[in-house]
Protein backbone atom coordinates (compact mmCIF):
# COMPACT_ATOMS: atom_id res chain seq x y z
CA UNK A 1 0.00 0.00 0.00
CA UNK A 2 2.84 2.37 0.92
CA UNK A 3 4.83 1.46 -2.22
CA UNK A 4 1.84 2.18 -4.47
CA UNK A 5 1.34 5.56 -2.76
CA UNK A 6 5.03 6.44 -3.25
CA UNK A 7 4.99 5.33 -6.92
CA UNK A 8 1.79 7.32 -7.58
CA UNK A 9 3.33 10.40 -5.97
CA UNK A 10 6.49 10.20 -8.15
CA UNK A 11 4.58 9.64 -11.38
CA UNK A 12 1.83 12.23 -10.83
CA UNK A 13 3.76 14.97 -9.04
CA UNK A 14 7.14 14.34 -10.71
CA UNK A 15 9.00 14.13 -7.40
CA UNK A 16 12.41 12.54 -7.11
CA UNK A 17 12.89 9.58 -4.78
CA UNK A 18 14.17 11.84 -1.98
CA UNK A 19 11.32 14.35 -2.41
CA UNK A 20 8.78 11.52 -2.43
CA UNK A 21 10.03 10.16 0.93
CA UNK A 22 9.99 13.64 2.41
CA UNK A 23 6.41 14.24 1.24
CA UNK A 24 5.37 10.91 2.79
CA UNK A 25 6.92 11.89 6.13
CA UNK A 26 5.05 15.22 6.12
CA UNK A 27 1.72 13.50 5.37
CA UNK A 28 2.33 10.95 8.15
CA UNK A 29 3.21 13.73 10.61
CA UNK A 30 0.03 15.61 9.79
CA UNK A 31 -2.08 12.49 10.42
CA UNK A 32 -0.26 11.91 13.74
CA UNK A 33 -0.81 15.52 14.92
CA UNK A 34 -4.47 15.33 13.95
CA UNK A 35 -4.91 12.09 15.86
CA UNK A 36 -3.21 13.53 18.97
CA UNK A 37 -5.46 16.61 18.87
CA UNK A 38 -8.60 14.48 18.76
CA UNK A 39 -7.40 12.43 21.70
CA UNK A 40 -6.66 15.58 23.73
CA UNK A 41 -10.05 17.06 22.82
CA UNK A 42 -11.82 13.97 24.10
CA UNK A 43 -9.76 14.07 27.31
CA UNK A 44 -10.59 17.75 27.92
CA UNK A 45 -14.25 17.09 27.31
CA UNK A 46 -14.26 14.32 29.91
CA UNK A 47 -12.36 16.52 32.33
CA UNK A 48 -14.82 19.41 31.93
CA UNK A 49 -17.75 17.10 32.50
CA UNK A 50 -16.07 15.83 35.64
CA UNK A 51 -15.36 19.38 36.85
CA UNK A 52 -18.97 20.42 36.24
CA UNK A 53 -20.09 17.37 38.16
CA UNK A 54 -17.68 18.16 41.01
CA UNK A 55 -18.81 21.81 41.16
CA UNK A 56 -22.41 20.67 41.27
CA UNK A 57 -21.63 18.34 44.16
CA UNK A 58 -19.76 21.06 46.06
CA UNK A 59 -22.62 23.48 45.50
CA UNK A 60 -25.09 20.96 46.87
CA UNK A 61 -22.82 20.39 49.87
CA UNK A 62 -22.70 24.11 50.65
CA UNK A 63 -26.49 24.34 50.40
CA UNK A 64 -26.83 21.42 52.79
CA UNK A 65 -24.37 23.02 55.23
CA UNK A 66 -26.25 26.32 55.07
CA UNK A 67 -29.54 24.52 55.74
CA UNK A 68 -28.09 22.70 58.73
CA UNK A 69 -26.53 25.90 60.03
CA UNK A 70 -29.84 27.74 59.83
CA UNK A 71 -31.48 24.93 61.76
CA UNK A 72 -28.82 25.16 64.45
CA UNK A 73 -29.38 28.90 64.80
CA UNK A 74 -33.09 28.58 65.51
CA UNK A 75 -33.59 29.48 69.16
CA UNK A 76 -35.16 26.92 71.40
CA UNK A 77 -38.44 28.09 72.93
CA UNK A 78 -38.03 29.48 76.43
CA UNK A 79 -39.37 27.32 79.22
CA UNK A 80 -40.11 27.93 82.88
CA UNK A 81 -36.85 28.44 84.80
CA UNK A 82 -35.55 29.29 88.26
CA UNK A 83 -32.96 32.11 88.02
CA UNK A 84 -31.23 30.64 91.09
CA UNK A 85 -30.32 27.49 89.14
CA UNK A 86 -30.59 28.17 85.38
CA UNK A 87 -27.35 27.90 83.38
CA UNK A 88 -25.73 30.61 81.26
CA UNK A 89 -25.95 28.46 78.11
CA UNK A 90 -29.70 27.93 78.53
CA UNK A 91 -30.34 31.66 78.86
CA UNK A 92 -28.33 32.47 75.74
CA UNK A 93 -30.01 29.64 73.80
CA UNK A 94 -33.39 31.15 74.68
CA UNK A 95 -32.34 34.50 73.24
CA UNK A 96 -31.41 36.33 76.44
CA UNK A 97 -28.54 38.75 75.61
CA UNK A 98 -25.16 37.42 76.74
CA UNK A 99 -24.52 40.48 78.92
CA UNK A 100 -27.78 40.02 80.83
CA UNK A 101 -27.19 36.26 81.23
CA UNK A 102 -23.68 36.95 82.53
CA UNK A 103 -24.96 39.52 85.04
CA UNK A 104 -27.61 37.07 86.27
CA UNK A 105 -25.05 34.34 86.87
CA UNK A 106 -22.46 36.73 88.35
CA UNK A 107 -24.90 38.05 90.95
CA UNK A 108 -25.76 34.49 91.93
CA UNK A 109 -22.09 33.49 92.23
CA UNK A 110 -21.41 36.50 94.46
CA UNK A 111 -23.87 35.08 97.00
CA UNK A 112 -27.03 36.84 95.87
CA UNK A 113 -30.38 35.08 95.75
CA UNK A 114 -33.42 35.82 93.62
CA UNK A 115 -36.57 35.71 95.74
CA UNK A 116 -39.10 37.55 93.59
CA UNK A 117 -39.44 38.52 89.93
CA UNK A 118 -38.58 42.12 90.77
CA UNK A 119 -35.13 40.92 91.85
CA UNK A 120 -34.47 39.66 88.30
CA UNK A 121 -35.92 42.84 86.77
CA UNK A 122 -33.17 44.87 88.46
CA UNK A 123 -30.45 43.15 86.41
CA UNK A 124 -28.19 45.62 84.65
CA UNK A 125 -28.88 45.71 80.90
CA UNK A 126 -32.32 44.08 81.13
CA UNK A 127 -34.58 46.44 79.19
CA UNK A 128 -38.38 46.43 78.98
CA UNK A 129 -38.65 44.49 75.71
CA UNK A 130 -36.49 41.61 76.99
CA UNK A 131 -38.23 41.55 80.36
CA UNK A 132 -41.70 41.48 78.76
CA UNK A 133 -40.71 38.35 76.83
CA UNK A 134 -39.09 36.46 79.71
CA UNK A 135 -41.11 37.58 82.76
CA UNK A 136 -43.78 34.89 82.47
CA UNK A 137 -41.09 32.17 82.39
CA UNK A 138 -39.36 33.27 85.61
CA UNK A 139 -40.38 30.68 88.19
CA UNK A 140 -40.57 33.10 91.12
CA UNK A 141 -43.49 34.86 92.85
CA UNK A 142 -44.32 38.35 91.61
CA UNK A 143 -44.89 39.52 95.19
CA UNK A 144 -45.40 38.08 98.63
CA UNK A 145 -48.89 36.52 98.76
CA UNK A 146 -51.15 37.91 101.45
CA UNK A 147 -51.90 34.40 102.67
CA UNK A 148 -48.21 33.69 103.21
CA UNK A 149 -48.06 36.20 106.03
CA UNK A 150 -50.89 34.44 107.76
CA UNK A 151 -48.93 31.19 107.62
CA UNK A 152 -45.46 32.42 108.55
CA UNK A 153 -46.06 31.65 112.23
CA UNK A 154 -45.84 33.62 115.40
CA UNK A 155 -42.08 34.28 115.15
CA UNK A 156 -42.27 36.21 111.87
CA UNK A 157 -45.33 38.16 112.93
CA UNK A 158 -43.65 38.99 116.23
CA UNK A 159 -40.72 40.50 114.34
CA UNK A 160 -43.06 42.70 112.31
CA UNK A 161 -44.99 43.82 115.36
CA UNK A 162 -41.77 44.47 117.27
CA UNK A 163 -40.43 46.56 114.40
CA UNK A 164 -43.65 48.56 114.24
CA UNK A 165 -43.59 49.22 117.97
CA UNK A 166 -40.04 50.53 117.86
CA UNK A 167 -40.15 54.32 118.17
CA UNK A 168 -38.07 56.05 115.51
CA UNK A 169 -37.77 59.79 115.01
CA UNK A 170 -38.92 60.85 111.56
CA UNK A 171 -36.20 61.99 109.18
CA UNK A 172 -35.91 63.19 105.58
CA UNK A 173 -35.14 60.27 103.27
CA UNK A 174 -33.19 62.45 100.84
CA UNK A 175 -31.04 64.08 103.52
CA UNK A 176 -30.50 61.14 105.90
CA UNK A 177 -27.01 59.85 106.57
CA UNK A 178 -26.01 56.30 107.51
CA UNK A 179 -26.40 56.89 111.23
CA UNK A 180 -30.03 57.97 110.84
CA UNK A 181 -30.83 55.02 108.60
CA UNK A 182 -29.28 52.63 111.11
CA UNK A 183 -31.82 53.68 113.74
CA UNK A 184 -34.20 51.37 111.88
CA UNK A 185 -34.09 47.82 113.23
CA UNK A 186 -32.66 45.56 110.51
CA UNK A 187 -30.62 48.29 108.80
CA UNK A 188 -26.91 48.13 109.52
CA UNK A 189 -23.83 49.64 107.84
CA UNK A 190 -24.27 47.60 104.65
CA UNK A 191 -27.94 48.41 104.01
CA UNK A 192 -27.57 52.07 105.04
CA UNK A 193 -24.73 52.54 102.52
CA UNK A 194 -26.71 50.68 99.87
CA UNK A 195 -29.73 52.96 100.35
CA UNK A 196 -27.61 56.11 100.08
CA UNK A 197 -25.75 54.77 97.03
CA UNK A 198 -29.03 54.03 95.26
CA UNK A 199 -30.36 57.47 96.26
CA UNK A 200 -27.30 59.09 94.67
CA UNK A 201 -27.69 57.06 91.48
CA UNK A 202 -31.34 58.08 91.21
CA UNK A 203 -30.73 61.72 92.01
CA UNK A 204 -32.98 61.52 95.05
CA UNK A 205 -36.14 59.61 96.05
CA UNK A 206 -39.45 61.08 94.92
CA UNK A 207 -41.52 58.22 96.39
CA UNK A 208 -41.18 55.98 99.42
CA UNK A 209 -42.08 53.04 97.16
CA UNK A 210 -38.69 53.45 95.45
CA UNK A 211 -37.21 51.88 98.57
CA UNK A 212 -38.61 48.58 97.27
CA UNK A 213 -35.95 48.78 94.54
CA UNK A 214 -33.09 48.63 97.06
CA UNK A 215 -31.99 45.03 96.99
CA UNK A 216 -32.16 42.95 100.15
CA UNK A 217 -34.52 45.00 102.33
CA UNK A 218 -37.08 42.70 103.94
CA UNK A 219 -40.76 43.56 104.19
CA UNK A 220 -40.72 44.18 107.98
CA UNK A 221 -37.81 46.61 107.58
CA UNK A 222 -39.46 48.37 104.65
CA UNK A 223 -42.69 48.83 106.61
CA UNK A 224 -40.90 50.57 109.46
CA UNK A 225 -38.58 52.56 107.19
CA UNK A 226 -41.46 53.94 105.12
CA UNK A 227 -43.28 54.98 108.29
CA UNK A 228 -40.18 56.69 109.67
CA UNK A 229 -39.12 58.75 106.63
CA UNK A 230 -40.57 61.79 104.92
CA UNK A 231 -39.89 63.24 101.48
CA UNK A 232 -39.77 67.00 101.16
CA UNK A 233 -41.67 68.10 98.06
CA UNK A 234 -39.24 71.04 97.70
CA UNK A 235 -36.23 68.74 97.35
CA UNK A 236 -34.17 69.51 94.25
CA UNK A 237 -33.54 66.28 92.37
CA UNK A 238 -30.33 65.76 90.42
CA UNK A 239 -31.57 66.05 86.85
CA UNK A 240 -30.54 64.38 83.59
CA UNK A 241 -29.67 67.21 81.21
CA UNK A 242 -30.98 65.80 77.94
CA UNK A 243 -29.27 68.44 75.77
CA UNK A 244 -25.79 68.32 77.32
CA UNK A 245 -25.17 64.93 78.94
CA UNK A 246 -23.26 62.27 76.98
CA UNK A 247 -24.69 58.78 76.72
CA UNK A 248 -22.54 57.42 79.57
CA UNK A 249 -23.84 60.06 81.97
CA UNK A 250 -27.42 59.34 80.90
CA UNK A 251 -27.00 55.56 81.15
CA UNK A 252 -25.66 55.92 84.68
CA UNK A 253 -29.24 56.44 85.86
CA UNK A 254 -30.85 53.17 87.11
CA UNK A 255 -33.98 53.71 85.00
CA UNK A 256 -32.16 53.98 81.65
CA UNK A 257 -30.05 51.42 79.77
CA UNK A 258 -27.05 52.08 77.53
CA UNK A 259 -29.16 51.41 74.43
CA UNK A 260 -31.78 53.91 75.55
CA UNK A 261 -29.09 56.48 76.34
CA UNK A 262 -27.52 56.06 72.89
CA UNK A 263 -30.97 56.38 71.30
CA UNK A 264 -31.49 59.69 73.14
CA UNK A 265 -28.15 61.02 71.88
CA UNK A 266 -28.92 59.85 68.33
CA UNK A 267 -32.34 61.54 68.39
CA UNK A 268 -30.79 64.76 69.73
CA UNK A 269 -28.15 64.70 66.98
CA UNK A 270 -30.74 64.10 64.25
CA UNK A 271 -33.48 66.50 65.44
CA UNK A 272 -31.65 69.09 67.49
CA UNK A 273 -31.94 69.96 71.20
CA UNK A 274 -34.98 68.84 73.19
CA UNK A 275 -37.48 71.65 73.74
CA UNK A 276 -39.95 69.69 75.86
CA UNK A 277 -39.73 66.49 77.88
CA UNK A 278 -42.62 64.81 76.06
CA UNK A 279 -40.44 64.62 72.94
CA UNK A 280 -38.64 61.75 74.63
CA UNK A 281 -41.70 59.58 73.92
CA UNK A 282 -40.92 59.77 70.20
CA UNK A 283 -37.92 57.49 70.79
CA UNK A 284 -39.17 53.92 70.31
CA UNK A 285 -36.84 52.49 72.98
CA UNK A 286 -38.37 54.76 75.64
CA UNK A 287 -41.50 52.93 76.75
CA UNK A 288 -44.36 54.54 78.65
CA UNK A 289 -43.35 52.77 81.85
CA UNK A 290 -39.76 54.01 81.52
CA UNK A 291 -40.91 57.56 80.79
CA UNK A 292 -43.20 57.65 83.84
CA UNK A 293 -40.42 56.43 86.16
CA UNK A 294 -37.67 58.69 84.84
CA UNK A 295 -39.78 61.82 84.22
CA UNK A 296 -38.99 63.53 87.59
CA UNK A 297 -35.28 63.30 86.78
CA UNK A 298 -35.45 64.86 83.31
CA UNK A 299 -34.44 68.35 82.26
CA UNK A 300 -33.14 70.04 79.11
Mean pLDDT computed over 34-53: 56
291: Cβ contacts below 8 Å, ≥ 6 apart? 280, 281
Rounded distance, CA 103 to CA 116, Å? 17
- 95 vs 268, which has greater pLDDT? 268
Closest CA to 235 of 155, 185, 174, 284: 174
Provide the Cα torsion 53, 56, 61, 63; round to 10°: -170
Question: Tens digit of pLDDT for each residue in 52-111?
Answer: 455 555 555 555 554 554 444 445 577 788 888 888 888 888 888 888 888 888 878 777
Residue 278, classified by CB atoms within 10 Å of its CB into exposed (0-12), middle (13-18) or buried (19+), is: exposed
Residue 197, classified by CB atoms within 10 Å of its CB into exposed (0-12), middle (13-18) or buried (19+), is: exposed
- The pLDDT mean for the chain works out to 77
pLDDT at residue 258 greater than cutoff 50: yes
CA distances 293 to 31, 34, 275, Å, are 96, 91, 20
69: Cβ contacts below 8 Å, ≥ 6 apart? none
pLDDT at residue 204 greater than cutoff 90: yes
Give me the sign of the Cα torsion angle 175, 178, 182, 186. Answer: positive
Mean pLDDT lowest for which of 21-25, 42-46, 223-227?
42-46
Mean pLDDT lowest for which of 53-62, 187-196, 201-210, 272-281?
53-62
Q: Confidence class of residue 261 from pLDDT cuts 50, 70 and 90?
A: very high
CATH superfamily of 146-230: Photosystem II 12 kDa extrinsic protein (1.10.150.320)
Rounded distance, CA 25 to CA 248, Å? 91
Question: Tens digit of pLDDT for each residue in 116-151?
Answer: 888 888 777 788 888 888 888 888 887 655 444 444
Q: Confidence class of residue 181 from pLDDT cuts 50, 70 and 90?
A: very high
Mean pLDDT computed over 206-230: 90
Mean pLDDT computed over 183-194: 91
Closest CA to 218 of 193, 196, 185: 185
Q: Report the CATH number of the 240-299 domain.
A: 1.10.150.280
Amino acid sequence: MVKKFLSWTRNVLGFSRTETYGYAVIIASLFLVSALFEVKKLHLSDLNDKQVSDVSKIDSLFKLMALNDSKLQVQSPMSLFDPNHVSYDSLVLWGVPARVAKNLISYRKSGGKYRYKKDVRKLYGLNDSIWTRMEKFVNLPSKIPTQSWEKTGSNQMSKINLARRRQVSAFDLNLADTSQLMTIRGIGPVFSKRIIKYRNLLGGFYSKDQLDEVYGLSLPVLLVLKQAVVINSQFKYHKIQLNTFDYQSIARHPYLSFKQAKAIIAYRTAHGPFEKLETLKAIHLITDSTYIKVYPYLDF
